[in-house]
Amino acid sequence: MTTVKGNKQNPRKWHLLENLLIATIYFIVAKLSLMLQFESSNATPVWPPSGFAFAMILLFGYRVCPGIMVGAFAVNLLIFSNNHTSQFPQSLILSLVIAIGNTGESIAGYMLMHKVLRKSFSRNFFSRVDQIFVFSLVALMMCLVSCTLGTTTNFFAGIIKPGQYFIVWLTWWLGDVSGVLLATPFIIILIDSLKTSPPLLKTGWKKLAEAASFFLLTVLASGVVFDNWFVDFFIFQWAFWMIPVLTWAAVRFGQRETVTGLMICSVIAIWVVSALEY
């Protein structure tokens, strides 16, 4: 109670700390994601920070935009500096423009969600089929902002050649879309579950054992399908083998466990693919 009262008495201080925390998390996640970047540009096949930024705006509104922009600006400036693809002060301008695109992308998504859902707009966009459809459509549309602005900026700066423009644009767009579809539901559902669902440790030992078995099977099945763990038989390399595992979570558990299992599966798949590329 003291904390809440203190936050109301010092809203500016609280908003500053909130934005600093979001900027720090964005920077860390982005720095890790840029390990998958396309050559010397800032385009990646998977960009989880886009999903993190969208989730933060959906949860907390426009007040977190400065944190997103600062985090995006800092990580882009660091990457340009490390890659030596752009000299100061050009790298400063490029980083700012790309950060504006990253932030504008989430703002566009937030506005589209409000526009389409209107009175039915709520924090949980995954309780009804129509909301899931709207969320997916918005993800496809909002990500056009960042990829177009970012790719065009890299092109005019001479970082990418004319023949690379489309592939970088497409890679950027797909990376942002996949980041939104993967990270945003995970973050929102996980945060909402803290208020609506009891912790697994309090659900009884039988349910806890079943949940542990599910997560263990998810890891093992993902390793077998995506990285040939234990067996190297072609029939086990088909990704649809993950469907029965995730169906188990959908039937026996709630959204929290299902989206966590999907995240585990996706992380292992992305890790394996990136390892093969490099």
The tokens describing 32, both together, are: 């890790």
Is the predicted pLDDT of residue 278 greater than 60, yes or no? Answer: no
Q: Which fold has domain 2-196?
A: Arp2/3 complex 21 kDa subunit ARPC3 (1.10.1760)
Residue 49 CB partners (closer than 8 Å, separation 6+): 26, 29, 30, 33, 71, 72, 102, 179, 183
Q: How far is CA 239 from its chain centroid?
A: 21
278 or 208: which carries more pLDDT confidence? Answer: 208
How sure is the predictor about 20, in pLDDT bands with cuts at 50, 70 and 90? very high
274: part of which helix (H) or strand (E)? helix 255-277
Backbone angles phi, psi at 50, to 5 degrees: -65, -40
Q: Are 105 and 47 in contact (CB under 8 A)?
A: no
How sure is the predictor about 130, in pLDDT bands with cuts at 50, 70 and 90? confident
pLDDT for 51-105, tens place per residue? 999 999 998 989 999 999 999 999 988 888 777 777 778 888 999 999 999 999 9
pLDDT for 206-237, tens place per residue? 878 888 898 898 898 888 888 778 777 666 66
Q: How far is CA 142 from its chain centroid?
A: 14
Residue 176 CB partners (closer than 8 Å, separation 6+): 47, 50, 105, 143, 146, 147
How sure is the predictor about 3, in pLDDT bands with cuts at 50, 70 and 90? very low
Number of neighbouring beta carbons within 10 Å of residue 45:
19
pLDDT for 33-60, tens place per residue? 777 655 554 556 688 999 999 999 998 9
Tell me which residue of 231, 254, 255, 251 sits closest to 243, measured CA to CA.
Answer: 251
Q: Does 89 sit behind a cis peptide bond, omega within 30 degrees of 0 on the bond before it?
A: yes
- Identify the pLDDT of residue 38: 52
Is the predicted pLDDT of residue 241 greater than 70, yes or no? Answer: yes
Q: Are 58 and 123 in contact (CB under 8 A)?
A: yes
Task: For residues 83 and 170, give the distance between their C-alpha atoms in angstroms, rounded to a whole number.
Answer: 22
Is the predicted pLDDT of residue 1 greater than 50, yes or no? Answer: no
- Identify the pLDDT of residue 276: 58
Is the predicted pLDDT of residue 153 greater than 80, yes or no? Answer: yes
Three-state SS for 29-69 is: HHHHHHHHCCCCCCCCCCCHHHHHHHHHHHHHCHHHHHHHH
- Identify the pLDDT of residue 21: 95
Backbone angles phi, psi at 86, to 5 degrees: -150, 140
Mean pLDDT of the chain: 82
The end-to-end CA distance of the chain, in Å, is: 51
Q: Are 161 and 151 in contact (CB under 8 A)?
A: no
How sure is the predictor about 149, in pLDDT bands with cuts at 50, 70 and 90? very high
- Identify the pLDDT of residue 121: 61
Where in the chain are all domains bearing CATH 1.10.1760?
2-196
Task: For residues 232 and 117, give the distance between their C-alpha atoms in angstroms, rounded to a whole number.
Answer: 47
Residue 189 CB partners (closer than 8 Å, separation 6+): 124, 126, 255, 256, 259
